[in-house]
A and B are shown apart, each in its own frame.
Chain A
Amino acid sequence: MALSLKELSKLDQTFAPGHRLCAGCAESIIVRQVLMAAGDPVVVANATGCLEVATSIYPFTSWRVSWIHSAFENAASTISGVETAYRSLVKQGKMEDVGMKFIVFGGDGATYDIGLQFLSGALERGHRFLYVCLNNEAYMNTGIQRSGSTPRGTWTTTSPVGEAIVGKREYPKDMTAIVAAHGIPYVAQAVPSQWRDLMTKVQKAIAANGPTFINVLSSCNRGWRHDTSQTIAVSKLATDTCVWAIYEIDHGVWKLNYKPKKKKPITEWFESQGRFSHLLRPENHALVEQLQEKVDKDWKALLEKCGEKT
């Protein structure tokens, strides 16, 4: 399928409108992009989280594709069962091979933290599925708590800004690298603002014969504290400040997919969202410098891995 807006606008939407995600939530934008790129038929497994609770309130469903939710941590195991069932039934001639695709949507809490073991197991076993992490950098469904993906210095309700401690104390784990270490065929990072890049990545992932993973930065305006109209703008700013790089590891080959002409300072990123507002105070200047250094260091390392000029 050609990824032109004209062609895409003709597609039937398999993710229905009328869901109950917040206005401006990036998750629905990403899900639509992913489902359009993947094409039918597809089975989706969804971890507990905002997307699941806002799209499946009985007796309604936003899903015009087959969809299963089991629990918070186990979407990767659930899809393992579905995918294996498909292989088994097709092998035995109990059903036709209809080219079924398998996709998981999980938040960063579901992916980085509570579901890490389940995901790792499914990757190691080599099931054919695409795991999409809707990475809004905190547990949003339960009301903005820090996760293993929350950036250092960020305000959340469990890493509040106090007199003694200023937001989250730890750096996030590099989940994309952790997944890549499983040696699976395709791993990438993406943003919804670069929709063609994201959709191309989904197509590559679906075409790869094995487990694949795309970590998508997913703005949550409730948790990030920005206007609902700014979702795409902040996504773009993330890539322009290089706090979130978009790249892919296709069969072991690293490739950078976007390099800003001029890297913007991290302070612009902090200015765009209320969750960082405390960082702009003079007493946190030293911390901001450290955070900028970390971004610079990580960006340089990525450029090197991707064979780019540093």
Chain B
Amino acid sequence: MKTALVPTGKLVKGIPLALDGAKIVAYAMKQMNPDVVPVYPITPQTEIVSAFSEYVANGEVDSEMINVESEHAAMSACIGASAAGARAQTATTSAGMAFMWEVLYVASGSRLPIVMHFVNRALSAPLNIHCDHSDSMGARDSGWIQLFGENVQEAYDNALQAIRIAEHPDVLLPIMHTQDGFVISHGIERAEVLPDEAVREFIGTYKPQYSLLDPKQPVTYGPVNLQDYYFEHKRQQVDGMEKALGVIPQVAEEYERLSGRHYGLLDPYRMDDAEFVIVIMGSAAGTARGVVAELRGKGIKAGLLKIRCYRPFPAKAVADALRGKKAVAVMDRAISFGAQGNPVFLDVSTVLNTYRLDTRAVDFVYGLGGRDVMPRHIHQAFQEILQVAETGETTPVVRYLGLRE
């Protein structure tokens, strides 16, 4: 287990590549060389596992791949492998994640630092293979750490940081890092990768505390917990999540010393003196950043708060970022049916309430099922919150962008 930070951080020269998000994640997996990789195909994730299969077929990795018969089995095999002290990684999206749902909780409850490379896609019905965040939202309460990436570079950088966060002895939780389906997974961009050696050094080696394979110390994994212990074990998971809030920036800092690229729990843009803020996750943050720059050009004090770490939710950091702002547009790419707003909005609203911030917020649902998010949609959101700030009126709290009604 790697506890100390690399002492002298030296910037290493990155290697520029033109890859899509899926291929760059496969590349990161190759560099991490996990011991066991159980996989199952599903669009638009398949590109990750087929690209990784090539590395395996060419003997470029030591990884043992398991071509399982379902995603449920993929996660189950990750659980077995991780409990056996191996580094286990898989990838999935949408229905695959839904099928895994039962065992996502087994992974986190057993404190197994599994890494899942995730692609965001809508859930059926109706069947749709394009991007939204409904699938990852289904796992938001499952005890997995969730990082959202914006582009190909972030998909790569998050993949490498994920393993360090998960395996940190204060955390020991499974982690998924996401990229938006097709938009990122199939969009070729220029991105820099680190040399293999630097990755190897950064991720270090993994020494599990408890392994099923230690013949000298047999262990029991996954016992029954009754009324007398279950609750305490759940509380310990909460503790791991809370500690992750400290570990994620630590790992990011170390990564920055290596790569020169900065990461935090949040990624603010022009927030310092902003009055009108858009809160967003995933690939649409790029579009929103452009709109913020444009609005700034027009003298409107717009700002953007991108959430990189969604679980654990960095409540204090969000409160600090939103304090004193006039109005917030929270962007949700998923619906929490029947709730008073959607996942990200509910989290942000809770922050506004708990920290007693006098900032108005409204929820914008956008981009479901891969619906394009255009700058004009972001402009519309800003226009609406300018009005919210002026009138103080937030009704309707949930609004829809780019929807025919």
Closest beta carbon of chain B to A281's beta carbon, Å: 40
B103 touches A52 (CB 8 A): no
B220 cross-chain contacts in A, Cβ below 8 A: 56, 61, 63, 66-68
A77 touches B225 (CB 8 A): no
**B62: CB under 8 A from chain A?**
yes
A88 touches B80 (CB 8 A): no
**A82: CB under 8 A from chain B?**
yes
User: What CA separation (Å) do A43 and B214 show in the bound complex?
Assistant: 10
Closest beta carbon of chain A to B118's beta carbon, Å: 19
**A100: CB under 8 A from chain B?**
yes
Whether A77 contacts B215 in the complex (CB less than 8 A), given A63-B220, A89-B85, comes out as no
Whether A53 contacts B224 in the complex (CB less than 8 A), given A71-B103, A120-B69, comes out as yes
B103 touches A70 (CB 8 A): yes
Q: Which of these binds chain B: A91-99, A169-177, A224-232, A265-273?
A: A91-99
A71 cross-chain contacts in B, Cβ below 8 A: 76, 102-103, 106
Pick from B79, B85, B218: contact of A64, CB under 8 Å: B218
A67 touches B218 (CB 8 A): yes
User: What CA separation (Å) do A196 and B82 show in the bound complex?
Assistant: 36
In the complex, what residue of chain B is closest to A56 when comparing beta carbons?
B223
A81 touches B81 (CB 8 A): yes
Closest beta carbon of chain A to B205's beta carbon, Å: 8
**Count of A interface residues, CB-CB < 8 Å:** 47
Closest beta carbon of chain A to B213's beta carbon, Å: 6
Whether A85 contacts B35 in the complex (CB less than 8 A), given A63-B218, A80-B80, A121-B68, comes out as yes
User: What CA separation (Å) do A204 and B168 show in the bound complex?
Assistant: 42
B222 cross-chain contacts in A, Cβ below 8 A: 56, 68-70
B76 touches A81 (CB 8 A): yes
Closest beta carbon of chain B to A57's beta carbon, Å: 5
**A65: CB under 8 A from chain B?**
yes
B221 touches A81 (CB 8 A): no
In the complex, what residue of chain A is closest to B74 when comparing beta carbons?
A77
A118 cross-chain contacts in B, Cβ below 8 A: 69-70, 72-73, 76
Q: Tell me which of A41, A88, A95, A98 has the highest count of chain B C-beta atoms within 10 A of its own C-beta.
A: A88
Closest beta carbon of chain B to A78's beta carbon, Å: 4
**B88: CB under 8 A from chain A?**
yes
A84 touches B102 (CB 8 A): no
**B63: CB under 8 A from chain A?**
yes
User: What CA separation (Å) do A59 and B230 show in the bound complex?
Assistant: 11
Pick from A40, A57, A68, A120: contact of B215, CB under 8 Å: A40
In the complex, what residue of chain B is closest to A68 when comparing beta carbons?
B221
A26 cross-chain contacts in B, Cβ below 8 A: none
Closest beta carbon of chain B to A105's beta carbon, Å: 13
In the complex, what residue of chain A is closest to B79 when comparing beta carbons?
A70
A41 touches B77 (CB 8 A): no
B76 touches A77 (CB 8 A): yes
Whether A89 contacts B229 in the complex (CB less than 8 A), given A78-B80, A81-B36, comes out as no
B213 touches A81 (CB 8 A): no
**B67: CB under 8 A from chain A?**
yes
User: What CA separation (Å) do A79 and B78 show in the bound complex?
Assistant: 10
Closest beta carbon of chain B to A27's beta carbon, Å: 15
User: What CA separation (Å) do A53 and B223 show in the bound complex?
Assistant: 8
A79 cross-chain contacts in B, Cβ below 8 A: 80
**B315: CB under 8 A from chain A?**
no
A77 touches B85 (CB 8 A): no
B69 touches A89 (CB 8 A): no
B74 cross-chain contacts in A, Cβ below 8 A: 77
**B219: CB under 8 A from chain A?**
yes
**B320: CB under 8 A from chain A?**
no
B62 cross-chain contacts in A, Cβ below 8 A: 88, 91-92
Interface 0/1 of B103-127, CB less than 8 Å to A: 1001000100000000000000000
**B181: CB under 8 A from chain A?**
no
In the complex, what residue of chain A is closest to B66 when comparing beta carbons?
A84
User: What CA separation (Å) do A124 and B66 show in the bound complex?
Assistant: 11
User: What CA separation (Å) do A117 and B212 show in the bound complex?
Assistant: 25
B212 touches A68 (CB 8 A): yes
Which residues B346-369 have CB closer than 8 A to chain A? none
A57 touches B226 (CB 8 A): yes
A124 cross-chain contacts in B, Cβ below 8 A: 69
A58 touches B103 (CB 8 A): no
In the complex, what residue of chain B is closest to A86 when comparing beta carbons?
B213
B223 touches A69 (CB 8 A): yes
Closest beta carbon of chain B to A130's beta carbon, Å: 15
A85 touches B221 (CB 8 A): no
A81 touches B38 (CB 8 A): yes
Whether A88 contacts B73 in the complex (CB less than 8 A), given A63-B220, A82-B80, comes out as no
In the complex, what residue of chain B is closest to A20 when comparing beta carbons?
B224
User: What CA separation (Å) do A52 and B229 show in the bound complex?
Assistant: 17
**B54: CB under 8 A from chain A?**
no
User: What CA separation (Å) do A45 and B110 show in the bound complex?
Assistant: 14
**A152: CB under 8 A from chain B?**
no
Q: 6 A-B pairs, CB-CB below 8 angstroms?
A: A74-B72, A78-B79, A81-B36, A81-B81, A117-B69, A120-B69
New A-B pairs, 17, CB < 8 Å, besides A66-B214, A68-B220 = A41-B218, A43-B212, A58-B223, A58-B225, A66-B213, A71-B103, A77-B68, A81-B78, A84-B81, A88-B36, A89-B86, A94-B35, A100-B213, A118-B69, A118-B73, A121-B70, A121-B73
Closest 9 pairs between A and B when the two form their complex, measured CB to CB:
A81-B80, A121-B69, A81-B77, A77-B76, A85-B86, A56-B223, A85-B84, A74-B76, A81-B81
